Amino acid sequence: MLASDVLVAQNVGFAIIAAIMVVGALRVVTTKNVVHAALWLVVVLAGAAAQYVLLAAEFVAITQVMVYIGAVMVLFLFGTMLTRARIGAEQDLNNKNWFIGLPIAVLLLATMLMALNDGFKAEKLPVDAPVVTTQQVSDQIFGAYLLPFWALSFVLLAAAIGAIVLARRD
């Protein structure tokens, strides 16, 4: 491999962002305050958006910011602040059965690694991969994948209606 084929800036950027994401993800589960956990999760999600930018997937990156940071995390914070978020460290934040999550997480990671390894083997991404434009993405969503897109929308609609039905007492 030629030295000029190595994308130094991209790799350094990836490493820095990945390190920040790992620290953020660990702090999400170790911090003593619900709101802090949510804010660390924002760091992780923003890092994912930054990684998408590095992959030249501009549309996905912006969607990540809009949906996860702008909507999901705001709702998350809104909900916790409305119900129980206290200032400072909290007691009994940990579930007694937290260690059951560990093997499941390891299992999930192993499955993903296996699937990736199995699917791509030693295949490498081309250095100058073609940039997928937003137009191509939308052509795919509203063309070839229209039916799955509709199905997903109906799932979300059902979830929204279900939430309203559960929340309303009258």
Q: What does the binding site for other proteins look like in residue numbers (CB under 8 A)?
A: 35-36, 39, 42, 58-59, 62-63, 65-66, 69-71, 73-75, 77-78, 81-82, 85, 87-89, 133-134
Q: How far is CA 43 from CA 40, 129, 159, in A?
A: 5, 28, 27
Toward other proteins, which CB reaches closer, 2 or 9? 9
Q: How far is the CB of 57 from other proteins (least distance, A)?
A: 11
Q: Which residues have CB under 8 Å from 49's CB, separation 6+?
A: 61, 62, 64, 65, 68, 69
Q: How far is the CB of 89 from other proteins (least distance, A)?
A: 8
Residue 52 token pair: 């998408």
Half-sphere exposure of 98 (CA within 13 A, CB side): 7
Toward other proteins, which CB reaches closer, 17 or 46? 46
Toward other proteins, which CB reaches closer, 119 or 130? 130
Residues 74 and 45: their CA atoms lie apart, in Å, by 13
Toward other proteins, which CB reaches closer, 88 or 130? 88
Q: How far is the CB of 140 from other proteins (least distance, A)?
A: 16
